[in-house]
Chain A
Amino acid sequence: MSGERRTPQSLPVLPEAPADPGRRSFMRTAAAGAAVAALSGCGLEDFFRKSFRELSKGDVQKVLASLERKHSAKYGRAVTVSGAPAQPGVEFGYGLDLSRCVGCRRCVYACVKENNQSRKNPQIHWIRVLEMDKARGVDLAHAEVYYEADQVPRPGHFYMPVQCQQCRNPPCVKVCPVQATWKEPDGIVVVDYDWCIGCRCCMSACPYGARHFNWAEPTLPKEELNPVTHYLGNRPRPKGVVEKCTFCIQRTRAGRYPACVEVCPVGARKFGNLLDPESEIRRVMDTKRVFVFKEELATHPQFYYFYAT
C-alpha cells in the first residue's frame, strides 16, 4: 500500500513526489506554505463556502491545500489530498466471482485500512460479506453477516460481498437534498464530506446498504492513517456525514487497483475500464454470465457478479 511507503514526519514537510507529478504538483507548493497559512480555514469561511463542484479551479487548490495542512497537523505527518479528476475514456467496472469468494473478509479489512475508516465505536465497514445457503441462492432474509471467519468457507454456503454498486441510476444521488453526492464521469459515486448535511436520505434510498454514517467522531489512530488521500475518497471524515466505497478513487485514478482487488487471496475480484476492450473486466463480461444485484430495481450497477466455474 502506498501509504506505508511514507514514514511519519513532523511538520512542515514536502510530501514525496506523487505518481503523477503533473496533476499533483500544486500540492507541494501548497504544503510548503503550510506552517503559516492556517488562517484561510477559519469557521466562517467554511460556513459560506461553495460546494466542491461549484468551486473554481483556483479555489479547489486552496481548499485541498488547507485540508492537507489541517490533516497533516492533526495526524502529525504529511498528508496529501488529491483532487484528481476522472480521466476521459475511462468508466470503471467491477467483477466479483461468487464461485471463488471464500468469505475470508480480507477485503473488508484492507478497505478499512486503505480508506481510513473509523476503527471502533463506531466501526465502519464499506464492504459487507454475506454468508448464504447454497440451497436458497441469493436470499437476504437468510443471509448472515456475522459469521465466524475462522471456519470459512463453510460447506453448503457461499459468500457474497456487497459494497457500493456505483449504480448508473443511483437512487442515493437523486434523493440528496443538497447535491452533496453525485456520479463522476468515470462512474464513481462520490460524497463531498464538506457539503453533506447528514440527513441520511441517501442511506434510506440505497438498496445495497452501501452508505455509512459517522454516528460519532471517527476513531482513526494516528499511526494507522493512510496519508495518500483524495478529496472525494479516503481523506479523514468529520462526524455527522455519510461515506461509502469509491472504488478507491485515490488509487484507481492513479492507475492502480482498488485495495480489495489487490488483497483478495483467491482472485475473486476483477477490476478495469469498461470502455477498454482489452481490460480484465471486459474479458469477464465477454466470457462469463454476469448478473447484477437487485436487478428489478433498475439501478443498473457498474458492479457485476458472476460464476467463473
Chain B
Amino acid sequence: MSGILGFLRGCARLVARGNRAYYAWLGVLAAAILIGLLAYAHQFRTGLIATNMRDQVSWAFYVGNFTFLVGVAAAAVLLVIPAYVYEWEPIKEVVILGELLAVSAITMCLLFILVDMGRPDRFLHILPLLGSPNWPHSMLTWDALVLNGYLALNLTVVVHILYKGYRGEHYNRKLIVPLVLASIPGAVSIHTVTAFLYNGMAARPFWNASILAPRFIASAFCSGPAVMIILFQILRKTTRIAVKDEAIFKVAELMAYAMFVNLFLLGAEVFKEYYSATEHLLYTQYLWSGIGPHRALVPFAWLALACSVSAFLLFLVPRTRRNFVTLNAGCVLIWAGVYIEKGMGLVIPGMTPDTLGEIYEYRPTATEWAIAAGIFGVGFLVFTVLVKVAVPIMTGTFQAPDRAADHPSPGKSAAVA
C-alpha cells in the first residue's frame, strides 16, 4: 500500500514541476477551463437557450465535437494493432501515448455529452439498476456503454503498464494482451456505434446511409494519427522519449490509405445524391451549395474538402510524407478537414432543412465556443498530466525507491525525477 502512496506522491511531484513553458501551458489551459466553467454556469442557469440550437436544429456544435473526438479516441487502435499483434518494435513505445490520447479524448467526449444534456442532473437514469436504460433499443445507451467500457479498458492498460514500469517489473502479459486485443474491436465499436446513432434515424436522410459507419472509421484513421504524429515530434524534442522517424513515416503511410478510402467514400455519397437527385439531395445541397440565400455551411464544406484533398496529396507523395515541414502541414490540414466534416458538416446538414422543410441556419454562440474551449482545456490538461507521469516512467527516470532491493533490475536506482 505504501508503494502506491509513494507512487502517487511521486506523480504529484512530477506534475507540479516543470520549466517555464510548462507553466505557461498550464496557465493557458487553466484560463480555457475557467472560461468554459463560467460559460457553463451561464448555460446551466438559463438553459440550453444559451446555445443557438433550436427545435429545428436540436443537435449541433457539442454533438459535432463529440463525434470528432470519438474518432480521435478510436484511432489509438491504428497504433495498437501493429505494435501488439505483430510485436512491431518501432511503434511499441508510442502505443502507450496513443492510449493516453484515447483516455483524454473520451474524457472530452463524455463532457461534451454532459453539457449537451437538458437535464444533466438526471444522468443516473441511464445506469442499470438505478435508472432504466433502454437497452438494447437505444443507440445512445449502447454508446454510453461502449465509451465507458473503452475508457475503462484503456485506463486499466495504461495504469498497469506504467505502474509496473515504475516498479521495474514486466507487465502481466496474461492481463494486458487480452485487454489490448479487446481494445481493438472496442475502438472500432465506439465509432461504429456513434455512427449508428445517426445512421438509424430514418427521419434524417442525410444520415440514413449505410456508408456512414465506414466513413466514420476511415476519417478516424486520418484524424487520430494526425494528432499523434505532431505529438510524437513535440515529445521527442521536449523529453527523452525516442520516437524513430521510421515509426512516424509508417503511421503517415497508413494515413494516406485511410484518407484515400475516406475521400472515395465521400465521392460515392456525393455521386449518389446528385445523380439520383431525389428530394434527399436537399441536405447535400445545403452543405455544398446552399439553398437559396441559406449558405452558412458552404464555405466550411469547401474549406474542409480543400484541406482533406491537399493533405491527401501531401501524404501520398513519399517525398512530402518524409519531409517534416510538409508532413506537419498535412497533419494540420487533415485535422482541420475532419474536424469541420465531422462537426458542422455532419450534424448540421442532417438537420437542415428540418423534417418539415424549414431552414434554420445554425451558428454556434459565444457560450458554445467558450464551453467547447473549456472542455478541450480539460482534455489537454488530462493528457498533459498523464504524459508528464508516463514519460519519465518510460525513460526510466521515475522509479520506485525500493525497486533495486525488491526487484533487482538493470538500470538506475532510487531516482525520482
Query: How does the 8 Å CB contact mask read for B33-55 relative to A, with 1 for contact and 0 for none?
Result: 00000000000001111010111
Interface presence of A279 (CB below 8 A): no
Decide: A213 near B46, CB < 8 A? Known: A171-B203, A199-B118, A239-B118. no
Classify the secondary structure of A's interface with B: loop
Chain A proximity of B39: nearest CB distance (Å): 16
Chain B proximity of A244: nearest CB distance (Å): 11
Alpha-carbon gap, A48 to B202, bound state (A) = 34
Q: Are B203 and A204 in contact (CB under 8 A)?
A: yes
> In the assembled complex, which residues on chain A have CB atoms less than 8 Å from the CB atom of B121?
47
Interface presence of B58 (CB below 8 A): yes
Interface presence of B200 (CB below 8 A): yes
**Across the two chains, which residue of chain A brings its CB closest to B291?**
A141
Q: Are A54 and B355 in contact (CB under 8 A)?
A: no
Of A175, A179, A215, A242, which is within 8 A of B132 by CB? A179
B contact residues, range: 35 or more
Decide: A197 near B118, CB < 8 A? Known: A140-B357, A207-B203, A297-B203. yes
Alpha-carbon gap, A217 to B50, bound state (A) = 12
Q: Are B134 and A212 in contact (CB under 8 A)?
A: no
Query: How does the 8 Å CB contact mask read for A56-98 relative to B, with 1 for contact and 0 for none?
Result: 0000000000000000000000000000000000000000000
Query: How does the 8 Å CB contact mask read for A34-53 relative to B, with 1 for contact and 0 for none?
Result: 00000000000001101100
Decide: A177 near B126, CB < 8 A? Known: A204-B201, A205-B201, A217-B47. yes
Interface presence of A196 (CB below 8 A): yes
Interface presence of B131 (CB below 8 A): yes
**Across the two chains, which residue of chain B brings its CB closest to A203?**
B58
Interface presence of B138 (CB below 8 A): yes
Interface positions of A from 119 to 164, Cβ below 8 Å from B: 121-122, 128, 130, 140-143, 145, 162
**Which residue of B113, B144, B354 has the most chain A CB atoms within 10 A of its CB atom?**
B354
> In the assembled complex, which residues on chain A have CB atoms less than 8 Å from the CB atom of B132?
50-51, 54, 178-179, 195
Interface presence of A107 (CB below 8 A): no
> In the assembled complex, which residues on chain A have CB atoms less than 8 Å from the CB atom of B279?
140-141
Decide: A175 near B201, CB < 8 A? Known: A143-B356, A240-B119. yes
Interface presence of A8 (CB below 8 A): no
Chain B proximity of A50: nearest CB distance (Å): 8
Query: How does the 8 Å CB contact mask read for A277-301 relative to B, with 1 for contact and 0 for none?
Result: 0000000000000000000010000
Interface presence of A176 (CB below 8 A): yes
Alpha-carbon gap, A201 to B122, bound state (A) = 15
> In the assembled complex, which residues on chain A have CB atoms less than 8 Å from the CB atom of B138?
174-178, 201
Q: Are B202 and A200 in contact (CB under 8 A)?
A: no
Interface positions of B from 64 to 109, Cβ below 8 Å from A: none
Of B56, B126, B282, B354, which is within 8 A of A197 by CB? B126
Alpha-carbon gap, A200 to B201, bound state (A) = 13
**Which residue of A142, A195, A211 has the most chain B CB atoms within 10 A of its CB atom?**
A195
Alpha-carbon gap, A51 to B125, bound state (A) = 8
Query: How does the 8 Å CB contact mask read for A163-201 relative to B, with 1 for contact and 0 for none?
Result: 000000001001111111000000000000001111111
Q: Are A197 and B117 in contact (CB under 8 A)?
A: yes
Query: How does the 8 Å CB contact mask read for B214-234 relative to A, with 1 for contact and 0 for none?
Result: 000000000000000000000
Query: How does the 8 Å CB contact mask read for B358-373 relative to A, with 1 for contact and 0 for none?
Result: 1000000000000000
Q: Are B55 and A199 in contact (CB under 8 A)?
A: no
Q: Are A180 and B125 in contact (CB under 8 A)?
A: yes
Q: Are A198 and B119 in contact (CB under 8 A)?
A: yes
Chain B proximity of A264: nearest CB distance (Å): 20
Q: Are B126 and A178 in contact (CB under 8 A)?
A: yes
Q: Are A204 and B118 in contact (CB under 8 A)?
A: no
Interface presence of B191 (CB below 8 A): no
Q: Are B357 and A142 in contact (CB under 8 A)?
A: yes
Alpha-carbon gap, A143 to B59, bound state (A) = 23
Chain A proximity of B227: nearest CB distance (Å): 28
Alpha-carbon gap, A297 to B276, bound state (A) = 19
Alpha-carbon gap, A154 to B351, bound state (A) = 29
> In the assembled complex, which residues on chain B have CB atoms less than 8 Å from the CB atom of A26?
none
Alpha-carbon gap, A36 to B358, bound state (A) = 49
Q: Are A204 and B353 in contact (CB under 8 A)?
A: no
Q: Are B357 and A200 in contact (CB under 8 A)?
A: no
Interface positions of B from 322 to 367, Cβ below 8 Å from A: 350-351, 353-358
> In the assembled complex, which residues on chain B have CB atoms less than 8 Å from the CB atom of A240?
47-48, 117-119
Alpha-carbon gap, A209 to B203, bound state (A) = 9
Q: Are A213 and B48 in contact (CB under 8 A)?
A: yes
Q: Are B358 and A145 in contact (CB under 8 A)?
A: yes
Interface presence of A241 (CB below 8 A): yes
Decide: A206 near B357, CB < 8 A? Known: A48-B130, A213-B118. no
Interface presence of B275 (CB below 8 A): no
Interface presence of B396 (CB below 8 A): no
Decide: A196 near B358, CB < 8 A? Known: A177-B134, A178-B131, A204-B59. no
Which 6 residue pairs are nearest across A and B when measured between Cβ atoms? A198-B118, A240-B118, A140-B357, A207-B203, A177-B140, A216-B49
Q: Which residues of A contact B (CB under 8 A)?
A: 47-48, 50-51, 54, 121-122, 128, 130, 140-143, 145, 162, 171, 174-180, 195-201, 203-209, 211-217, 238-242, 297
Q: Could you jot down 5 A-B contacts, CB within 8 Å?
A: A130-B356, A143-B357, A174-B134, A176-B134, A241-B118
Q: Which residues of B contact A (CB under 8 A)?
A: 46-49, 51, 53-56, 58-59, 113, 116-126, 130-134, 137-141, 144, 197-198, 200-204, 279, 282, 350-351, 353-358
